[in-house]
Amino acid sequence: MTNIPTDLLRTLVAVVDLRSYTKAANSLGVTQPAVSAQIKRLTQLIGADLFERGGQGVALTSRGERVIARARRLLSLNDEIVGLGAATVRADLIVRIGTPSDYVATMLPGILAQFRSQHPDVRFVVRSDFYEPLLRQLHAGEIDLLAALSPTRPPDARHSQAIEMLWLRGEAPLDIDTARPVPLVSCGEPSTYHRHAVKTLRAAGLEYEQVFVASSMQCLNNAVSAGLGTTLSSRRRVSVLGLQEWADGPLPKPAPLHSAGVCPRGGSREIYEQLADQVAAVIHGPYDRQSRAFRSPAGLRGASSAA
């Protein structure tokens, strides 16, 4: 029976996460030729190419995609077993975080900076995507922590709280005739905000028109500020981006969404849970307009200025 050394799998994960042989080598404290040799050895043991030949970057083959998902699960179990007898965090721990782009732009950098001051040997890889793809990545072992908004309370969430949703507008007048389709600005169909907005409008018997699909939070903010249409968001994002709550508008009051702080059962669970606790404290804390930062009730500060 062929046994695959975990160091080969860890090298594979580092190359995929960092999208570079050189960065993986620096992360692992070895040379680039050593990384290449380990990937070659792993390829020989598996008997199939893991990366596309001649492609740009480090694109995985279909077999490579299956291998990386299983490698993450195996390493997670390995680290969990090792952690049973260790009181400290592994020196080379990389925490992979999945979160929406608005979290990255407004609060996550400050949380990570503070967390790293407490755990200087921890490093981060942040993936920005919509909730459902991130949830699949979490279950596949491709990320270690998911922080996002969910339509319902995830049953396996470490932290979850109902988050008030608001209709927003810019400073420019926005006159909406509910007899006609509501002009909607959003990040499109995969977005939790978009789906919730559509669900809210349809429940009230209103039609909508997608007048602008934003590729980023800044694009969305600019479109709403210009008066192109309305969008649905949390009060936190209203505070950060400078948009206005449209409380006196003709649109129905949206139901809340739910914050979701989910981390896997395996791996360095203690460190994942500590980070999830800090993220939750900031998400659920008030926004300090003077410092342009979020605070938890206990005084934890999530840094960051608006993007």
Task: Quote helix, strand, coil % in the chain, to nearest 5.
Answer: 40, 20, 40
**What's the pLDDT at 30?**
81
One domain for residues 156 and 178 = no
Highest mean pLDDT: which range of 103-112, 142-151, 239-248: 142-151
pLDDT tier for residue 266 given thresholds of 50, 70 and 90: low
Please give the average per-residue pLDDT across 277-295, as a whole number. 58
The pTM of this model reads: 0.61
**What's the pLDDT at 240?**
63
pLDDT tier for residue 241 given thresholds of 50, 70 and 90: low
One domain for residues 205 and 60 = no
One domain for residues 157 and 270 = yes
- What the block records as the tokens of 70 is 């299983």
Residue 70 CB contacts under 8 Å (≥ 6 apart), including other chains = none
Find the range with the poorest average confidence among 206-210, 240-244, 248-252, 279-283: 240-244
Please give the average per-residue pLDDT across 58-82, as a whole number. 82
CA 278/CA 129 separation, integer angstroms = 21
CA 182/CA 198 separation, integer angstroms = 10
Residue 222 CB contacts under 8 Å (≥ 6 apart), including other chains = none
Residue 77 belongs to a domain with what CATH number? 1.10.10.10
**What's the pLDDT at 205?**
95
Cβ atoms of 123 and 76 within 8 Å: the answer is: no
pLDDT of residue 300 exceeding 60, the answer is: no
Cβ atoms of 170 and 245 within 8 Å: the answer is: no
What does pLDDT average to over the chain?
Answer: 80
- Pairing verdict, β 94-99 and 123-128: parallel
Element (H, E) at 209: strand 208-213
One domain for residues 158 and 51 = no
Domain range for 229 is: 165-255
Which residues partner with 150 through β-bridges?
258
Closest CA to 163 of 100, 217, 209, 219: 100
Q: What is the pLDDT of residues 246-256, one digit of tens each?
A: 888 899 999 99
CA 249/CA 232 separation, integer angstroms = 13
How crowded is residue 169: how many other Cβ atoms within 10 Å of its Cβ? 20
Q: What is the pLDDT of residues 89-115, one digit of tens each?
A: 455 688 888 888 767 656 788 888 988
Share of the chain above pLDDT 90, in %: 19
More confident call, 288 vs 61: 61
One domain for residues 15 and 148 = no
Residue where one domain finishes, among candidates 57, 87, 117: 87
pLDDT of residue 153 exceeding 70, the answer is: yes
Highest mean pLDDT: which range of 56-65, 80-89, 234-243: 56-65
Residue 136 belongs to a domain with what CATH number? 3.40.190.10
Please give the average per-residue pLDDT across 113-123, as a whole number. 87
**What's the pLDDT at 267?**
57
One domain for residues 157 and 262 = yes
**What's the pLDDT at 288?**
42
pLDDT of residue 25 exceeding 50, the answer is: yes
CA 284/CA 190 separation, integer angstroms = 24
Closest CA to 228 of 193, 178, 182, 196: 182
Closest CA to 97 of 261, 219, 249: 261
One domain for residues 228 and 276 = no
Share of the chain above pLDDT 70, in %: 82
pLDDT tier for residue 185 given thresholds of 50, 70 and 90: very high
One domain for residues 172 and 51 = no
Q: What is the pLDDT of residues 222-235, one digit of tens each?
A: 899 888 999 998 87
Residue 181 CB contacts under 8 Å (≥ 6 apart), including other chains = 206, 207, 208, 209
Please give the order of strands across the beta sheet that includes 231-234.
231-234, 165-169, 244-245
Count the domains in the chain.
3
**What's the pLDDT at 57?**
67
Residue where one domain finishes, among candidates 238, 255, 272: 255
